[in-house]
Amino acid sequence: MSEDRKLMVLRAIVQDYVQTSEPVGSKALVDRHHLGVSAATVRNDMAQLEEEGLIHAPHTSAGRVPTDAGYRVFVDRLSQLKPLSAGERRAISQFLQGAVDLDDVVDRTVRLLAGLTRQVAVMQYPSLTRSTVRHIELVPVGAAHLMVILIVNTGRVEQRVVETRSLPAGTDGEELVARVRASLNEVSAGVPFTAAATELRRLVEQAPGEERPVVEAIVSALSDALVEEREERVVLAGQANLARSGGDFATSVAPILEALEEHVVLLRLLGQLGEDPDAISVRIGSENPVSGLQTTSLVSVGYGSGLERVASLGVLGPTRMDYPTTMASVRAVARYVSQILDENNNG
Helix (H, G, I), strand (E, B) or coil at 245: coil
Of 75, 104, 89, 78, which Cα lies nearest the Cα of 335?
Answer: 89
The contacts of residue 32 (CB under 8 Å, 6+ apart) are 12, 16
List the single range of 23-32, 155-164, 245-254, 330-339 with lowest mean pLDDT.
Answer: 245-254
What gap in Å lies between CA 303 and CA 339, rounded to an integer? 9
**pLDDT above 80 (res 184):** yes
Q: Which DSSP string corresponds to 115-143?
A: HHHSSEEEEEPPPGGG-BEEEEEEEEETT
Where residue 230 falls among pLDDT bands split at 50, 70, 90?
A: very low
Q: What mean pLDDT is predicted for residues 227-248?
A: 76
CA distances, 195 to each of 173, 188, 309, 341 (Å): 29, 8, 17, 21
Instruction: Give me the architecture of the 86-127+232-346 domain, per CATH.
Output: 2-Layer Sandwich (3.30)
CA 117 to chain centre: 14
3 state SS of 24: strand
- With contact defined as beta carbons under 8 Å apart, do 126 and 150 qualify? no
Asked whether the predicted pLDDT for residue 315 surpasses 90, the reply is: yes
Q: 345 vs 204, which has greater pLDDT?
A: 204
Query: Which CATH architecture fits 3-76?
Result: Orthogonal Bundle (1.10)
pLDDT at 226: 58
CATH of domain 129-230: 3.30.390.10
Q: What is the pLDDT of residue 2?
A: 74
Backbone torsions φ then ψ of 191, nearest 5 degrees: -105, 135
pLDDT digits (tens, 9 = 90+) for 53-109: 999 988 766 689 999 999 999 999 987 787 888 888 888 888 888 787 888 889 999
Kindly indicate the confidence band of residue 229, based on its pLDDT and cuts at 50, 70 and 90: very low
List the chain domain ranges. Answer: 3-76, 86-127+232-346, 129-230
pLDDT category, 129, cuts 50, 70, 90? low
Mean pLDDT of the chain, nearest integer: 84
What pLDDT was estimated at residue 130? 66
| Mean pLDDT for the stretch of residues 290-310 | 84
In terms of pLDDT, which residue wins out, 180 or 72? 72
Which pLDDT value is given to residue 347? 52
Q: Of 78-82, 182-186, 196-200, 226-230, where does mean pLDDT reach its minimum? A: 226-230
Q: Give residue 314's pLDDT band: very low, low, confident or very high (50, 70, 90).
A: very high
Q: Span 133-139, mean pLDDT?
A: 87
- Rounded to two decimals, what is the model's pTM? 0.77
With a cut of 50, say whether residue 322 has pLDDT above it. yes
Give the residue ranges of DSSP H helices in the chain.
3-20, 26-32, 39-51, 68-76, 86-97, 102-117, 170-188, 193-206, 212-227, 241-244, 254-261, 263-270, 323-346
pLDDT of residue 323: 95
State the average pLDDT over residues 237-247.
84
Q: What is the pLDDT of residue 274?
A: 54
Share of the chain above pLDDT 90, in %: 27
